[in-house]
Amino acid sequence: MPSSGPAVRAGRVVANVLYNYGGLLVSTAIGFGLTPVLIRHLGHQTFGVYVLISSMIGYTSLLDLGIGVSVMKLVADHVDDEDRSELAVLVSSGVALYMGLGAAVLLAGAALYPFLGSAFGVHGAQLHSFRTAYVIAAVSAALTFPSAIYTGLNQGFHDFRATNTIGALQSAASACGYLSAVEIGAGLVGIVSAGSLVNFIAYFAKVVYTKRAHGVGFSASLVRRKALRRIASFSWPLIVGNLAVTVIFDVDNVVVGAVLGAATVTSFAVTGGATSAMESLGDAMNAVVLPTASTLRSRNDQNGLQRLLLESVRISALVLGPFVVLAATWGRQLFKLWVGANFEPSAPTLSVMALGVTVAMVQGAATQFVIAAGKQRWMLLVSVPEAIANLALSVLLARHMGIVGVAWGTTIPTFFTTFLVVIPYACRLTEASVLAAYRRLALPFAVQSCAYLALKYVLGVRSFSSLLTLGAASLIVLITCYALCLALEPRERATYIALARRRLARKVA
């Protein structure tokens, strides 16, 4: 019987990544524009509190237990099946688990509530706003907790266009809500309320679309113990891995708040806001790599797996590396023109964080193949020590170096685990050459190093009159780095030229 699932071709993979990049571009542009507006209306202290709320609510991902990723992987394994009954049972069981976890989110939020003021040095009227906004955000997170199931389901079907369309509309609606809240003087509580309402609407839209597009939705009658056990057996190692990732990347704001004070969180959060777009770029690609790798493995396409691994780690370095160059050369200018000269001292932190995110996203690309192979238990041997080292170094270096020490505390452990452990193991699973992977990484890093030296010591451009000119110059640097990397890779150059020609021919036809 012919396969009924979507073909896994290079063109489809690239198209899915581009859909993710398009959605990311919208959300990043909106976030970039909103940050200075919110800082100006809320003030440094209140904006720092807003960031703390976002960070703490973000910790609800710890209760995800890897179920969303598990559903994505299992759906991708069965994407060729014409009978969707097994998938319906799988999704219904996953949603049931998430509903129970939503209640756990509320309990966790209630446990933290009494300690908000003392933990972060917030008192008086601001503490009341802090607590009210925190409760609203926690309730919203609990009600929309199953959203990850529907995202994973659509991604498992290689349907990234709809997911990103909903995400882009959600970002735009949230921005309108935030601006309306600050315009009427609603403050912190108004902003959080507007965002929570939009989150609920977006969740409902995902549920409706998934049912109509793929014929799969939640039904209490389809919840099965066998399916629950299957999801649990796959996802339990991801629980600890998810905790480790949260410690590595999301605990930094809390470390800064606890060690250096809530006001300092604003400086660190602005720096993190500049690098969060880089993380999203990597995540946008990895979200495509995992279901693609799972489908290729289910079809025993070893050659496809090898090429996907080598290309995904190379693209991670190629896409993200130039941002390290820009941060190291023009970071001060970015902060001065974006949020004010007071933030210029945070530029060194931006450079270190950009380097750490680039390395982490290369690791993330390789990790998708470990999950696709069902070897997620092995990840515990890497992620747990890395998280412990990250937390210890971040606290230690924060006391001696300030916020740049927190950034180094993340970057150093990630660098060693990426290049000495994760990439070699992913190559072993796919029978790819480790040396070939390192060679693929060497060229982008070499081009980016040359670009940094040229900007720093040859061109010497250090001042811009506006964000527009800085953005234009940055875009030139990005395009130049990308073009040079592609030009120096004959095989990949031919691949992308062929893809472009095929797409152009389809449009003409």
Q: How far apart are CA 412 and CA 393, in angstroms?
A: 9
Contact 156, 76 (CB under 8 A): yes
| Matching residue, tokens 């060693």 | 416
Q: Which of 52-61, 69-78, 146-155, 472-481 has the highest mean pLDDT?
A: 472-481
Query: What single DSSP character describes residue 186?
Result: -
CA 498 centroid distance within chain: 30
**What pLDDT, in 10s, does the model give residues 235-288?**
655 565 555 555 555 566 667 766 776 666 677 777 777 787 787 777 777 778
> In the structure encoding, which two tokens stand for residue 14, read together?
């690239």
pLDDT of residue 151 exceeding 60: yes
Is 240 in contact with 31 (CB distance < 8 Å)? no
Q: Do 441 and 313 form a contact (C-beta atoms < 8 A)?
A: yes
Residue 323's closest CA among 267, 361, 366, 367? 361
Q: How far is CA 415 from CA 352, 356, 449, in A?
A: 12, 7, 17
CA angle 105, 56, 150 (to 5 degrees): 55
Q: Residue 150 corresponds to which tokens in the numbers above? A: 């529907």
Q: How far is CA 149 from CA 170, 198, 229, in A?
A: 17, 18, 16
Residue in this structure with the two tokens 């412990």, named with its chain if needed: 388
Least confident of 38-47, 78-87, 329-338: 78-87
* pLDDT recorded at residue 57: 77
What pLDDT score was predicted for residue 1? Answer: 34
Q: What is the mean pLDDT of residues 441-451?
A: 91
Among the ranges given (32-46, 52-66, 201-215, 460-474), the one the predictor scored with the smallest mean pLDDT:
52-66
Instruction: Please name which of 266, 419, 414 lies closest in space to residue 352, comparing C-alpha atoms.
Output: 414
**Cβ neighbours for 371, distance < 8 A, ≥ 6 positions apart:** 69, 73, 238, 290, 379
**Do 72 and 290 touch, CB atoms closer than 8 A?**
yes
pLDDT for the residue 61: 62
Query: Which tens digits make up the pLDDT trace of 108-118?
Result: 778 878 877 77
The residue type found at 327 is: A
Q: Give the span between the Cα atoms of 404 and 303, in whole angstroms.
A: 42
Per-residue b or e along 218-239, where b marks 16 or more CB atoms closer than 10 Å to that residue's CB: beeebbeeebbebbbebbebbb
Helix, strand, coil shares of the chain as percentages rounded to 5?
90, 0, 10
Q: Where are the domains of the chain?
A: 1-236, 251-509
pLDDT score at 425 = 94
3-state secondary structure of 104: helix
pLDDT at 424: 94
Of the pLDDT bands very low, low, confident and very high (cuts 50, 70, 90), residue 301 is: confident
Total residue length of the chain = 509
CA–CA distance, 492 with 311 (Å, rounded to integer): 9
pLDDT value of residue 263: 61
Write out 109-154 in H/E/C secondary structure. HHHHHHHHHHHHCCCHHHHHHHHHHHHHHHHHHHHCCCHHHHHHHH
Q: Which two tokens stand for residue 459?
A: 């061109």
How many other C-beta atoms can be found within 10 angstroms of the C-beta atom of residue 205? Answer: 16
- The model's confidence at residue 66, banded by pLDDT at 50, 70 and 90, is low
Q: pTM of whole model > 0.75?
A: no
**Residue 104, phi then psi, degrees to nearest 5:** -65, -35
Q: Looking at residue 426, what is its pLDDT?
A: 93
- Would you state the pLDDT for residue 4? 46
Nearest alpha carbon to residue 48 among 116, 105, 103, 98: 116
Q: How confident is the model at residue 183 (pLDDT cuts 50, 70, 90)?
A: confident
Q: What is the pLDDT of residue 54?
A: 81
Locate tokens 């941002």: which residue? 323
Q: What is the pLDDT of residue 188?
A: 87
Mean pLDDT, range 437-450, rounded to an integer: 91
How would residue 45 be classed by pLDDT, with cut points 50, 70 and 90?
A: confident
DSSP label of 54: H
**pLDDT, tens only, 186-217:** 888 899 999 999 999 999 998 888 888 887 77
Give yes or no for residue 509 having a pLDDT over 70. Answer: no
**pLDDT per residue over 416-436, tens digit each?**
999 999 999 999 999 999 999
Residue 446 has pLDDT above 60, yes or no: yes
pLDDT band for 79, please (50, 70, 90 cuts): low
What is the average per-residue pLDDT within 456-469?
82
SS3 4: coil
CA pseudo-torsion sign 86, 89, 91, 93: negative
